Amino acid sequence: MISRIIKPAVTRVITPTAKAMLRIGFTPNGVTVVGAIGVVASAFIFYPSGRLFLGSVIISFFALSDLFDGTMARISGQGSGKWGNFLDSTLDRITDSSVLIGLILLLNKNSDRLVPVVLLALMTGILVPYIRAKAESLGIECSGGLAERTERLMLALLAIALHGLHLPFALAIGMWILAILGAITVVQRIMIVRNATQE
C-alpha cells in the first residue's frame, strides 16, 4: 500500500546511483546478497546487545538494496530473471525474520512479556508471503492486503528505533500493531484465495 505510493518517487531519486553502480561492475543479484548479509549481521549484532537505534539505522541502510537491485535490473534491460526473483524473495524472508529474531533475543534475555507478541508478528510475517506464493502456484493472484512487506518492515524498524531512543511504550505499541496488521493481512489473503476457488 505505502510502497505503491513512495516507491516510484524513491526509484527516480536512486536511479543515477544505480546507473553508477552498474558502470563500476555491481550486479543486481550481488547488491541483493550484500544487502541481505548486512541486514542479518546488523540484526544479530546490534539488537541482542541493546543498541536498537543504531541497529535500526544501519538495517534501514542495507534494506535499501531491495530498491537498488530492482532499479539496476530494469536499467540494464536484463530484468531480474527467474533466479533473481527467487533469490530476492528468499532473502526477503530471511532478512525480515532476522530483524524480529534479533529483537526476540534481547527481549528473551530480559524476560520481557512482549516476546509472544513479537513471535506472532514473526509468524504472520512468514505466512503473508507464503500464502501469496502458494496461491500463485495455483494460478490465483493474491497480492495486496492491509500490511504488505514494506509497511511491516517500516513499522518494525520505527518501533525498535524509537524504543532505542527510550520513548515509552513505542516498542509495545509497534509490535502489537505489527502482529494485528499481520494477522488481518493473513486472513485477507486467505479469503482472496477462498473466493477465487469458490468462483
Rounded CA-CA distance 27/79 in Å is 11
Residues with catalytic roles: 92
Per-residue model confidence (pLDDT) at position 40: 97
| Full-model pTM | 0.89
| Beta carbons within 10 angstroms of residue 51's beta carbon | 16
Q: Quick check: 172 and 114 in contact, CB under 8 A?
A: yes
Give residue 79's pLDDT band: very low, low, confident or very high (50, 70, 90).
Answer: low
| Neighbouring residues of 123: CB distance < 8 A, sequence distance ≥ 6 | 182
Cell numbers found for residue 65: 538494496
| Neighbouring residues of 52: CB distance < 8 A, sequence distance ≥ 6 | 46, 103, 106, 160, 161, 163, 164
Per-residue model confidence (pLDDT) at position 6: 61
Q: Quick check: 120 and 181 in contact, CB under 8 A?
A: no
Per-residue model confidence (pLDDT) at position 101: 98
Rounded CA-CA distance 104/3 in Å is 26
CA angle 115, 150, 45 (to 5 degrees): 50
What average pLDDT score do residues 114-134 get? 96
Rounded CA-CA distance 50/156 in Å is 15
Rounded CA-CA distance 112/103 in Å is 11
